[in-house]
Structure 1
Amino acid sequence: MTTELTGRLTDLQLKVLFSELHKSRVGQNQKGFSHVQQWDVRRFLIRVFGFGGYDTELVSIDCVKEIEIKAGDRSRWTVVYRVHQRLTVKDIYGRPIATFDGVATGDAQNQPGLGDAHDGAVKEADSQSLKRAAVNLGDAFGLSLYNGGSTAPVVLWSAAHPPKTAEGGKPEAVPDVPEDPPVQPEPDAVQQAPESEPAAQPATPAPAPAPAPALADPPAQQRPGAMPAAGPNERQAALDSMWEAARAVNFADGLPAQFQASFGHPIEQGTAAEFRQARDLMAGSAAA
């Protein structure tokens, strides 16, 4: 649900809302996509609308999935939550002027404690849903990041809030409309580019449910994700290291499917950083 702003915004509030997103507020998530932090969104809600100038309502919080992975006499947990959050902003007199809804899922994967898994997943979904609601307020809240990760403003002007002339402060009949920046494709919705919350629990593969007979490690150039035979490189080294860790915990057979589930793409599309992350998790599982 989205309601239109009623125009009860001060000139200074409009100036901030029309401003360019400062590059210092933009970070990169684990997949390399641009985003703004949830706490930064709250900071700017306070800056624009004041203390008590906005309300958030958790319309619904649903546990989508709770998965227990047995590892000997211990368990690890993966939990997924879906949150529907409503953001209401107010004018300087405390009167509601706009309401925006945001819906998002969040997960916490391969956690040693069930409580920590639920806590992490709820926090992630809460963070994402707030940002998705706030992005309706424009560039100051990350809207431009949908345009190829750019911080250049994309709203620029609004017929509902035309600039005022110097004489008498009356609105111009027709604003001088700036040229729009080139429109880039939106990021893949599955990867959630601008909103992939940086504070999320890292997506990491789970260990095998139970020990299995050791499997032969495939030759380097036959492993999923292997680079063409063109000499050693960082990615190939990380890939080989991940496979060695999988073999050490008898998980080589299940690694491709778990990698796809954890990172959202097959090993063939994996990065050196993802291979190292998967390796470290399996090494930690073996030591636990």
Structure 2
Amino acid sequence: MTTAPKLTDQQAAFLLSPISDKRVRNLNGLSHLEAWDVRRQLIRVFGFEGFTIETQSLDCVAQIEIKNGDRSRWTVVYRAQVRLTVRSTDGRTLTVFEDASAGDAINQPKLGDAHDFAMKTALSQALKRCAVNLGDQFGLSLYNEGSQAPVVLRSLAYMGEPVKESEDAPVGGEPTPQGAEPDPEPTPGQGAPQRQTPAAPAAVPDPPKQQRPGAMPPAGPNERQTALDEMVAAARAIDFEASLPEQFVTAFGHPIEQGTAAEFRQARDLMTGSAAA
């Protein structure tokens, strides 16, 4: 009689341990793991031959050209679906996970670079969403408002008594752009806080800057916050909130906290496809 494939005791114990704070990044209040680090951990736990990552689909959702005289800048959006298969040490399939994500590249000067970056972002996010089913070592606890404290603790399939109610951390809401997200995509922290709820980007006035001829004047704080909220809502609608901070820096050269209302509106229009061609 053939026994079912299973994790080794060492693999199970490691997957049930808390994530190291050195692996968690924080970018503009969003907690996440890097895709290369997820691959590193897959190799460490299952071996080079112990898992397979397959692209089930990769589709261009939008390609937007924005003319500026005789030059163009490009925003491209992709949707990817990925399958992660994990195998036991004897090569038999343990489990299969599938998930999907969207990724984009905003305001890029080269069309090829825009497609390349958007594809990689979508594929990386989809992989991380698959891997999070493997528990805290792959970022599951980060969905609990960015906490690095383990949320699985034990599993009756492998060891120990049931988790007691007194051991469970309070369940927070899943991340939003104002909260913490593992996709979702933090700078490595000092120590391992039980809970961390980063603050939302502050609604500060636009930073002073030189006015270009014909440029829109700086917006006041209230108008700026409205534009910020609209940009975030547009990102959420295409499942892109986790990548928004990094892409904003790529497009405009500074963090969201330093962004202007005009930049927020431009990013919103790019994501909704309403920018003038």
TM score, norm. by length of structure 1: 0.68
Q: Compute the displacement of 1:102 (Å).
A: 1.6
The reply on whether 1:182 has 2:170 as its aligned counterpart is yes
Q: Which residue of 1 aligns with 2:232?
A: 264
259 and 191 in structure 1: CA distance in 2 versus 1, 3 angstrom threshold: farther
Question: Which structure has the higher relative contact order (CA within 8 Å, separation 6+)?
Answer: 2
**What CA distance in whole angstroms lies between the structure 1 residues aligned with 2:16 and 2:173?**
22
**What CA distance in whole angstroms lies between the structure 1 residues aligned with 2:31 and 2:87?**
28
Matches within 5 A, 1:198-213: none
Q: Compute the displacement of 1:260 (Å).
A: 4.8
Residues 14-69 of structure 1, C-alpha deviation per residue, up to 9 Å, x if partnerless?
A: 0110000111110012x311111111100110111011100011000010100000
1:127–1:197: 8 Å Cα contact kept in structure 2? no
Larger CA Rg, structure 1 vs 2? 1
Q: Compute the displacement of 1:265 (Å).
A: 5.6
**What CA distance in whole angstroms lies between the structure 1 residues aligned with 2:141 and 2:213?**
44
Matches within 5 A, 1:5-44: 8-29=6-27, 31-44=28-41
Consecutive unaligned residues in structure 2, runs of 5 or more: 187-201, 235-244, 246-253, 264-277
**What CA distance in whole angstroms lies between the structure 2 residues aligned with 1:189 and 1:273?**
14
Partner SS, residue 194 of structure 1: coil
The reply on whether 1:159 has 2:156 as its aligned counterpart is yes
85 and 191 in structure 1: CA distance in 2 versus 1, 3 angstrom threshold: farther
Partner SS, residue 60 of structure 2: strand
Alignment match of 2:258 (pick from 265, 271, 276): 276
Partner SS, residue 248 of structure 1: coil
Q: Which residue of 2 aligns with 1:195?
A: 183
Matches within 5 A, 1:14-93: 14-29=12-27, 31-93=28-90
64 and 254 in structure 1: CA distance in 2 versus 1, 3 angstrom threshold: farther
**What CA distance in whole angstroms lies between the structure 1 residues aligned with 2:26 and 2:146?**
10
**What CA distance in whole angstroms lies between the structure 1 residues aligned with 2:178 and 2:5?**
35
Q: Which residue of 1 aligns with 2:238?
A: none
Alignment match of 2:103 (pick from 106, 112, 122): 106
Q: Compute the displacement of 1:71 (Å).
A: 0.3
* TM superposition outliers: structure 1 runs of 4+ over 4 Å: 189-192, 253-263
TM score, norm. by length of structure 2: 0.71
**What CA distance in whole angstroms lies between the structure 2 residues aligned with 1:150 and 1:182?**
11
Q: One-letter code of the match for 2:113?
A: D
Residues 83-109 of structure 1, C-alpha deviation per residue, up to 9 Å, x if partnerless?
A: 000000000011111000121010100
**What CA distance in whole angstroms lies between the structure 1 residues aligned with 2:56 and 2:42?**
19
Q: Which residue of 1 aligns with 2:113?
A: 116
2:30–2:177: 8 Å Cα contact kept in structure 1? no
Percent identity between the two aligned chains: 47
Consecutive unaligned residues in structure 1, runs of 5 or more: 1-5, 164-174, 199-225, 228-234, 282-288
Q: Which residue of 1 aligns with 2:122?
A: 125
Q: One-letter code of the match for 2:184?
A: S
1:124–1:197: 8 Å Cα contact kept in structure 2? no
Q: Which residue of 2 aligns with 1:141?
A: 138
Q: One-letter code of the match for 2:61?
A: V
